[in-house]
Amino acid sequence: MKILACDGIHADGLTLFKEAGFTVETSDPIKDVAVLAEKLKDFDGIMVRSATLLPAEALANAGKLKVIGRAGAGVDTIDVDAATARGIAVMNAPDGNTLAAAEHAVSLLFSMARHVPKADAGMKAGEWPKNGLTGFELEGKRLGVIGLGRIGATVARKAAGIGMEVAAFDPFLPASASGRMSVPMKTLDELLAWADIITLHIPRTKETTNIIGEAQMRKMRKGSYLINAARGGLVDEEALLKVLDEGHLAGAALDTFVTEPLQKDSPLRAHPKLILTPHLGRQHRKHNRQSVPFWRVR
């Protein structure tokens, strides 16, 4: 089998395929759909991360393609219906970046609470920026987790470990599951009104796009905070800027964006109440090579 590996797939993962006898060709992200469609004519499989998109048009001429592998949890960059209709299997690695994403969300939580980015920038600018950067303690604060899958549950566990109160809403769990969860479950509106900080850990689908829009932000407690280290498009970015400017939300931290890389002239970049990171939650390195979460296609 001939495999196309885009988007900087880690060498350990590529080695697994080569040892299994596959031919592997690596590529930088392929942004042009027409170029990708032409390229896929010659491959039995493709591995991607987030940069190379696989819409239906990219699969139109992929007569040999048997499998699409996503080196990560989400498959929102892949037209799964189009692939399925063509008999192409779509596989992901749901455990691949669980700890990386969860720990990054927690790091954003601490960064917001202690004003770490502003303090660091001030110190490097030759200042001693103590005034106005006192921050707040996380112990006793209420964390609302939207999405209680692998990553969300890990965040909930770590937050509880530092003394936070934790509750959750999950759009994919039936109401009957509430009694079986160790984390109290609430409706979305209840969670928004209850929490001091909301953190998102769900995939982007048609149903979850802009799940946190202006109406939802206004249901959040005045002075509360928002974290999105899951998927771009879950939060209405324009509405977020509006409620931050008005002072309804005290701050937000974003690791994912509607358009990635984030545009150089994006108004998000200059906002003083925002902490921004370049989709770092998806990055991880395993020291034990045997645990690298890539697929062995037989």
* Residue 38 annotated in active site: no
Only one residue has tokens 């509607």, namely 258
Question: Which of 70, 279, 282, 284 is the catalytic position?
Answer: 279
- Comparing C-alpha atoms, which of 209, 255, 253 is closest to residue 235? 209
The H or E element spanning position 198 is strand 197-200
Question: Which of 49, 70, 231, 284 is the catalytic position?
Answer: 231
Handedness of CA 192, 195, 198, 204 (dihedral sign): negative
Strand partners, 276: 254
* Residue 231 annotated in active site: yes
Relative to beta strand 224-228, strand 197-200 is: parallel
- Comparing C-alpha atoms, which of 203, 169, 214, 165 is closest to residue 189? 169
Question: Which residue type sits at 250?
Answer: A
Q: Are 199 and 227 in contact (CB under 8 A)?
A: yes
Question: Which of 127, 260, 269, 289 is the catalytic position?
Answer: 260
* Residue 237 annotated in active site: no
Farthest-apart Cα atoms in the chain, separation: 63
The residues that are catalytic are 231, 260, 279
